[in-house]
Amino acid sequence: MTLDRRSLLTGAAATAAAAIAVKTGGAEAAVKTAPADAVGLMYDTTLCIGCKTCVVACREANNKKPDTSNSNGLWDAPLDLNGQTKTIIKLYKDSDSPERSYFKTQCMHCVDPACVGACMIGALQKREKGIVTYKQEYCSGCRYCQVACPFEIPKFEWESKAPLMVKCELCNHRLAEGKLPGCVEVCPRHAVIYGTREALLAEAKKRIADHPGRYRGYKDGDPPRVFGETDGGGTQCLVLSHVPYEKLGLPALDETSQANATRSIQHGIYKGFIAPIALYAVLGAVVFRNKRAQDNDGGAA
């Protein structure tokens, strides 16, 4: 028992070191901002007529088969985004009032995405122009991105035996050819437009300023604002709506991203791996000494 106190103390010291690292690390983890050339979409519910051309165009652009599973093969009628559907037009209908709105769902291309923070070896990563892209060769199908995403965007090919994640990648293959994203190209009313995040944000704010009373905030009664400017640390795809965002099923998010919160803990503890190595050194020394003492006492290994 002679060593007890000392080993306890060293153990405590290592824990304290780790704790300090957490604290300082927390302060260090910088809030991520959108890259200068960040691009995105802006969807305006006041312009959308619900024609679903974008849904069809998205399929063609991304080589995805129509989803007829809900309609006995008759229609391409997915009920939500899924393993073969990267965008969909949903309908919000109020039961008590004539209030209704279409809502185009697709990846929001977060400024600091939770899915990217989740992904073990970067199958999902922000690549050119801040687009959250997927590289299947790094994906083992763990689905942590699905757990993490606040918008429920990444979908899994559940029926496949070699399943991949499926999500909007802003048609980056088309952008590379100088074309617009499929949905943007076909939209007959420019309800969804493509551009740099900066330009889109300016346009969205201009629309709000030009049309007092047309747009809304997050909740009923909130002043009008652009969804995605700051939500969840900001998104590269923005939404303007004539019904409160809450009613469109958009989540209430903090202004800092959840990825940032988690990163500060992970980086805090593991920055440069100093704390674990220090802890290991201490543990190694203590165990070595204690074990030798115990073995000399005649104990079994």
Partner 1 sequence: MSAVLHRPAPLGGPVVTKGARVLVVLAALGVAAMVTRFAVGLGGATALNDGYPWGLWIAFDVVTGTALGCGGYAVALLVYVLNKGEFHPAVRPALLTGALGYSLAAVSILLDVGRPWLLHRVPLYVSHWNTSSALFEVALCVMTYVAVLWIEVSPSFLDSWRKGPAGLKRTLGESFLPVVEKALPFVIALGLLLPTMHQSSLGTLMLLSGKKLHALWSTPLLPLLFLISSLAMGYAVVIFESTLSSVAFKRPREGKMLAALGKVVVPFLWAWAGIRLVDVVLRGKLAFFAKPDGYVLLFLVEIALIVVPAVMLASPERRADAGALFRAAILMILAGTLYRIDTFIVAFRPGAQYAYFPSLAEILATVGIVAIEILAYVWFVKRFPILTGAAPAHAAAASQVR
Partner 2 sequence: MYLDGTSGLEPLHVDDEGQNRRDFVKVALLAGAAVGLPAALSAQIAEAAVKGVKPSVIWLHFQECTGCTESLLRTSHPDVAELILDLISLDYHETLFAAAGHQAEDALKKAMKEHEGKYVLVVEGAIPQKENGIYCQIGGRTAVDILNDVAGKAGAIIAIGSCASWGGIPSADPNPTGATGAPMILKGKTVVTIPGCPANPYNFLGTVLQFATLGTLPALDEKGRPKFAYGRTIHEHCPRRAHFDAGRFVQKFGDEGHRQGWCLYKTGCKGPATHANCSVQHFGEVPDAWPIGVGHPCFGCTEQALAFRKPLHDTVDIERPTPPDTYAPLHAPMGKVAPVATGVAGLIGGALLGAGWAASKKLGTTEEASKEPRKEA
Binding residues among 102-141 for partner 2 as defined by CB under 8 A:
102-103
Strand, helix or coil for residue 68? coil
User: Which span sits near partner 2 by CB under 8 A: 29-37, 69-77, 123-131, 265-273?
Assistant: 69-77
Task: State the minimum distance, in angstroms, from the CB of residue 63 to partner 1.
Answer: 20
Report which of 52, 40, 41 is spatially closest to residue 90, judged by C-alpha positions. Answer: 52
Among 89, 148, 192, 243, binds partner 1 (CB under 8 A): 148
Ranges within 239-268 binding partner 2 (CB under 8 A): 248-249
Task: State the minimum distance, in angstroms, from the CB of residue 78 to partner 1.
Answer: 11
Q: What 3 state SS string does 188-241 have?
A: CCCCEEEEEHHHHHHHHHHHHHHCCCCCCCCCCCCCCCCECCCHHHCECCEEEC
Q: Which is nearer to partner 1, 49 or 277 (CB)?
A: 277
First-last CA distance in the chain: 19
List of residues 6+ apart from 133 with CB closer than 8 A? 124, 125, 126, 127, 169, 172
Among 96, 177, 210, 297, binds partner 1 (CB under 8 A): 297
Task: State the minimum distance, in angstroms, from the CB of residue 144 to partner 2.
Answer: 18
Instruction: Kindly state whether residue 66 participates in binding partner 2, applying the rule CB under 8 A.
Output: yes
Ranges within 111-140 binding partner 1 (CB under 8 A): 114, 116-122, 137-140
Strand, helix or coil for residue 90? strand
Q: Which helix (H) or strand (E) holds 124?
A: strand 124-126
Q: Considering CB distances under 5 to 8 angstroms, the limit depending on partner class, which of partner 2, partner 1, none binds residue 102?
A: partner 2
Helix (H), strand (E) counts: the chain? 9, 9
Query: Which DSSP symbol is given to 85?
Result: B
User: Which span sits near partner 1 by CB under 8 A: 52-60, 69-77, 214-222, 246-254?
Assistant: 246-254
- x/- letters, 28..57, toward partner 2 (CB under 8 A): ----------------------x-x--xx-
Distances in Å between the Cα of 68 and the Cα atoms of 84, 182, 291, 297 are 11, 21, 65, 73
Instruction: Kindly state whether residue 89 participates in binding partner 2, applying the rule CB under 8 A.
Output: yes
The distance from CA 65 to its chain's CA centroid, rounded to whole angstroms, is 25
Instruction: Kindly state whether residue 68 participates in binding partner 2, applying the rule CB under 8 A.
Output: yes
As a whole number of angstroms, the distance between CA 163 and CA 148 comes to 19
**Within 10 A of 27 (CB to CB), how many other CB atoms are there?**
9
Among 40, 130, 150, 228, binds partner 1 (CB under 8 A): 150
Task: State the minimum distance, in angstroms, from the CB of residue 186 to partner 2.
Answer: 13
Instruction: Kindly state whether residue 11 participates in binding partner 2, applying the rule CB under 8 A.
Output: no
Distances in Å between the Cα of 51 and the Cα atoms of 21, 48, 188 are 54, 8, 9
Among 47, 77, 261, 278, binds partner 2 (CB under 8 A): 77
Ranges within 160-199 binding partner 1 (CB under 8 A): 160-164
Q: Which is nearer to partner 2, 93 or 289 (CB)?
A: 93
Task: State the minimum distance, in angstroms, from the CB of residue 27 to partner 2.
Answer: 39
Q: Which is nearer to partner 1, 143 or 214 (CB)?
A: 143
